[in-house]
Amino acid sequence: MLPIDLSGKRALVAGVADDRGYGWAIVRALAAAGASVSVGTWPPTMRIFTKSLERGKLDLSLPGGGEIEFERIYPLDAAYDTPGDVPDEVSSSKRYAELEGYTIQGVADKMRADFGDACLDVVVHSLANGPEVRNPLIETSRHGYLEAVSASAYSMVSMIQRFGPLMNEGGALVSLSYLAAERVIPGYGGGMSSAKAALESDTRTLAFEAGRKFGIRVNTISAGPLASRAAKAIGTIELMVDYYAANAALPEATAAEDVGHAAAFLCSPLASGITGETLHVDKGYHIMGMPAHTRMSAE
């Protein structure tokens, strides 16, 4: 047996707000492999998330027995690098006023204070937001476009800048992308396709730069669509899931666990030779050149 063993490793999974999305599946896979896991949660969902945990409303079960136990739960808004970047109207708002240290630098500082230097082995970037995602790109405003790229792509650059110095050599960062980075996906608008393209390009560049500077690996997973709570903002997510299931090489929908397992592999020593890669986890949908039901030859 060749196991994925992350015992003694510490992971931060940024972008977890419930137990329905890919972020949670990655948490489960990392914890099942033995890693100690902390999560970063968007401040507006922080209270709901922690209350759900306290009331036992989240599925903490692990395959093979046991439950997820979080080392820390940090508020994290990856749209802001430092406290000075947070607008007054945000910092004084009801959802933020009682929180502190929720910028990327703030979470890095908290982790250093909680665990010391060289305290991280795995960072997962499960972050995406486009305020105009339902708008076609041609109807997207400059503000909406830049917001999408900032929250969904630049945030990974910022995280490597600030968490890289805390990571042990041989560590790994994994992010989540989508096929819209490569091909046209009608309905996935607001600059989100551009953000995913930037994320994949940055993955390659950062694999070189962070590999040389910190000795860590950087990869991204291009995942098939999942009808998570966050993805419902797209509006057509159920149709996208059904279309993939009907036309993928393996005719079924991508499961959250598929992505969780792939992420655990990429973060493990078994993937020590893999960096700068975009790994498609979509049941083979990305290889198809036309709908599966199409027939070129005459009957």
The label of the residue with tokens 């703030």 reads 106
Query: Which 3 state secondary structure label does DSSP give 14?
Result: strand
On whether the CB atoms of residues 37 and 66 are closer than 8 A, the answer is no
- CA dist., res. 189 & res. 134, Å (int): 6
Q: Where are the alpha helices (DSSP H) in 64-128?
A: 88-91, 104-115
Rounded CA gap, 64 and 61, in Å?
Answer: 9
Query: Which tokens in the block code for residue 14?
Result: 């940024």
Residue 178 annotated among the catalytic residues of the structure: yes
CA–CA distance, 18 with 177 (Å, rounded to integer) = 19
Which one-letter amino acid corresponds to residue 280?
A: H
Of 80, 96, 178, 285, the catalytic one is 178
Cα gap 149→140, rounded to integer Å: 12
Catalytic residue among 80, 188, 244, 285: 188
List residues with catalytic annotation. 178, 188
